[in-house]
Amino acid sequence: MDDLAQIAKEVRRTIIHLAHRSKGPHVGAALSCADILSVLYFRVLRLDPWEKRDIFILSKAHAAMALYSTLHGKGIISDEQIAGYYKDNGTLPAHLDRFTSNYIEVSAGSLGHGFNIGLGMALGFKKKNEARKVYTLIGDGESQEGSIWEGALFAPKLGLDNFTAIMDFNNLQGYGRACDLCSFQPIKLKWEAFGWHVIEIDGHDYEALQSACMENTNGKPKIIIANTIKGKGVSFMEDQLIWHYYIVNDEHKASALEELK
Amino acid sequence: MRNTFVNTIVEAFKNRTDIFIVSGDAGLGVFDEFKETYSDRFLNLGIAEQNMASFSAGLSMAGFKVYAYNIIPFLLYRCYEQVRNDICYQKLPVVLVGIGSGITYAFQGMTHYSVEDIGIVQTLPNLKVFSPIDPIEAKLAAYYSLKSEFPVYVRLAKRGEPNIHKSDNFEITDPQLIEEGELVAIIFHGSIGEEVMKAGEMLQAKGIYPRLISLPMVIPIDTERLFYMLTGIKYVVTVEEHFVNCGIGNLLSNEYAKANPRWKLFNLGIPTKFIHEIKDLKGMREHFGISASKISDFIKQLLIKGEA
């Protein structure tokens, strides 16, 4: 799995470049899920042929920099495209617009949407007898949305075992910790009580992520609770509230890239 | 018109395997037979409107032609952002089938009325909007929706509305000349059609012959064609079972200001206030000035005074 470490590091380096150049927020959220996206795109998702591809939906779309950087690493998003991120007359917006690039499956930005779109797609594939899988990444903050729980109630009944949600559980949102703001815990028991196949893992452990994605669920939809560290990979950003919105300046960028050598 | 619309879609199931109907725990009796025959492509998604809208978008992305059925406030208002982001922004051919247009759900109360839906859908690019006056327009709107590559919203009343059109041989996207007339024209849409037709008869008895024009497609309106159809008219009155500040009267006012035509425009509709009145549908229409007799009185006054 050494090469995945390399791949994820490169994704993180791209994230730092994008965050620095754009002077935009959400670098912490993007770094948090860089390992998850690397595993998905380099180990799990079937991307060819196009008509039979698996679907990944970034429901927590404020981490779009992580998706762009991963697709760039995969050779799907070009150097030119990524150079136009968050720019006047640019190519890629801060939140997702599916008309900007192949493999941006869903336009998203407002939380609690992509998850439910994914459920609909998963049922559609089942009805069409297509062996395609749907993966979506949600946040712990996003899990405060009522729509998530509306969908959670229906997915087991519909037998959506081709659907996997991954929760990027970094326990840091815009202005606090999910576990302090609301009665978030015990989150694993909540999903289990809803009838989901729940796996809790270290969200930065490549092997654990891959095997959780592959695990059979006996007909149930799956949620992987990935315990992560917001800002992961850059020591001074790790688990720091400010790095949800803080802007990466020249100095931050230099130190971050030094760590990500 | 509700049953005609649904039956037209159900008929299409015979030749198409890609149509899917989802309901938000609504439509008593409407789907009973259909559910048996096509149980594989019908889903009651329960009382979870946000999920239903996004879920419909997902089914559509997987290649299904999705019809999402609910009472209008629960189809559009509760989940406005899902309709905006997940259906319209993604440009998916989901068909939103809304029931209980205007105040047809009297006595149910304000929560169940839809007197601002046309105002709301005006803010949703890509969405094509129909408001049929009768089962024939509902049927043609259903045909349109089956072929549409854009999202569609169809605003339906309940059931039992009589046919107004005499034939179904017309383009549903065009404004429709229902009855030829002179001097004054009435433009209308939706279930208020019944009242407008009666008002027409009342006026004819007094020797006044209004030109009656229905707008089955309310967004977009072919204003060029519509304005051409108003040639020779002096007064145009819009009538709708909808808030007067954000329906077609308002849409046409904008166009009117730009075109500055030779006729004068007057808008009849429900005042933009929460409805606390407890009346049956007939009483409501009378109270809000959109019953046949109130429409007829308004036009008589208009012709006497030259102004309302």
Looking at the domain assignment, is residue B169 inside a domain? Answer: no
Distance between CA atoms of A119 and A51, rounded to whole angstroms?
18
Regarding whether B272 and B185 lie in a shared domain, the answer is yes
B44-66 residues labelled b (16+ CB within 10 A) or e (exposed): bbeebbbbbbbbbbbbbbbebbb
| Residues contacting residue A135 through CB under 8 Å, at least 6 positions apart | A40, A44, A45, A54, A55, A56, A57, A118, A163, A164, A165, A166, A213
* B64 contacts A127? CB cut-off 8 A: yes
CB A55 within 8 A of CB A117: no
For the stretch B162-194, pLDDT in tens is 999 999 999 999 999 999 999 999 999 999 999
- Pairing relationship of beta strands A163-169 and A222-227 according to DSSP bridges: parallel
- Tell me if A84 sits within 8 A of A91, measured CB to CB: yes
**Residues A128-132: what's their mean pLDDT?**
97
User: With bands split at pLDDT 50, 70 and 90, how would you rate the model's confidence at B56?
Assistant: very high
CATH of the domain at A44: 3.40.50.970
B183 with B92, same domain? no
Instruction: Determine the pLDDT at residue B160.
Output: 83
Q: Is A125 in CB contact (< 8 Å) with chain B?
A: yes
Q: Which residues of A touch B68 (CB under 8 A)?
A: none
For residues A134-145, give the mean pLDDT: 98
Amino acid symbol at B108: Q
pLDDT at B171: 98
Evaluate whether residue B112 is within a structural domain.
yes
Q: Rounded to a whole number, what is the distance in Å from the CA of B50 to chain A's nearest CA?
A: 6
List the single residue in B58, B60, B85 with the smallest CB-CB distance to A119: B58
Instruction: List the structure tokens of A10.
Output: 């490169």
User: Who among B45, B63, B90 is closest to A124 (CB)?
Assistant: B63
| B165 within a domain of the structure (yes/no) | no
Total structural domains in chain A?
1
Domain count, chain B: 2
Within this chain, do residues B198 and B56 fall inside the same structural domain, yes or no?
A: no
Number of alpha carbons in the 13 Å side-chain half-sphere of residue B62: 30
**Within a domain: B150:** yes
Cβ density class B102-129: b for 16+ within 10 Å, e for less: bbbbbeeeeebbbbbbbbbbbebebbbb
- The answer to whether B62 contacts A120, with C-beta atoms less than 8 Å apart, is yes
C-alpha distance from B18 to closest chain A C-alpha (Å): 9
Asked if the structure places residue B191 within a domain, the reply is yes
Angle between helices B49-61 and A146-154 (to 10 degrees): 70
Q: Where are the alpha helices (DSSP H) in chain B?
A: 2-13, 32-37, 49-61, 72, 80-82, 117-121, 135-147, 193-205, 223-229, 248-259, 281-287, 292-305
- pLDDT tens digits, residue range A53-92? 999 999 999 999 999 999 999 999 999 999 999 999 999 9
User: Which chain B residue has its CA at the smallest distance from A123's CA?
Assistant: B59
The beta-carbon neighbor of A128 closest among B51, B62, B81 is B62
Question: Does residue B167 belong to any structural domain of this protein?
Answer: no
CA distance B60 to chain A (A): 8
Quote the pLDDT of residue A224: 98
CATH code of the domain containing B252: 3.40.50.920
Which of chain B's residues have a Cβ under 8 Å away from the Cβ of A128? 62-63
Question: What is the DSSP code (8-state) at residue A174?
Answer: T
Residue B176: count other Cβ atoms within 10 Å of its Cβ.
Answer: 20
pLDDT for B308 beyond 80: no
The domain containing residue A21 runs over which residues?
A: 2-259
Indicate if B9 and B49 belong to the same structural domain: yes
Distance from CA of A48 to the nearest CA of B (A): 16
Task: Quote the domain boundaries for residue B45.
Answer: 2-155
The fraction of chain A above a pLDDT of 70, given in percent, is 99
What is the rounded CA–CA span in Å between residue B178 and residue B7? 25
Q: Are residues B192 and B59 in the same domain?
A: no
Q: How many CA atoms lie within 13 A of B265 on its CB side?
A: 20
Report the C-alpha gap between B170 and A226 in whole angstroms.
Answer: 58
A-chain CB neighbours of B54 within 8 Å are 113, 115-117, 119-120, 147, 151
Q: Is the CB of A58 inside 8 Å of chain B's CB atoms?
A: no
Best mutation target among A107, A116, A128 (most B Cβ atoms within 10 Å) is A116
Q: Distance (Å, rounded) from C-alpha B103 to C-alpha B283?
A: 11
Shared domain for B117 and B215, answered yes or no, is no
Environment class of residue B200 by beta-carbon count within 10 Å: exposed (0-12), middle (13-18) or buried (19+)? buried
Count of residues making up chain A: 261
Whether residue B11 is found in the same domain as residue B139: yes
| Shared domain check, B186 and B95 | no
**Main-chain phi, psi angles of B264, to 5 degrees:** -105, 145
Q: Do B224 and B124 have their domain in common?
A: no
Q: Please give the Cα distance from B297 to B299 (Å, whole number).
A: 5
Whether residues B274 and B180 fall in one domain:
yes
Section A5-9 average pLDDT: 98
Residues B148 and B279 in one domain: no
User: What confidence category does residue B55 fall into, taking pLDDT thresholds of 50, 70 and 90?
Assistant: very high
Nearest-by-CA chain B residue for A51: B62
Contact B51 A151 (CB under 8 A): yes
Residues B141 and B215 in one domain: no
pLDDT digits (tens, 9 = 90+) for B21-32: 999 999 878 888
- Residue B43: which CATH number? 3.40.50.970
Residues in chain A with CB shorter than 8 Å from the CB of B48 are 150-151, 153-154
Chains A & B: contacts with CB separation below 8 Å: 92
Q: Does any domain span residue B160?
A: no
Token couple for A208 = 């654990």
- Reply yes or no on whether the pLDDT at B242 is more than 70: yes
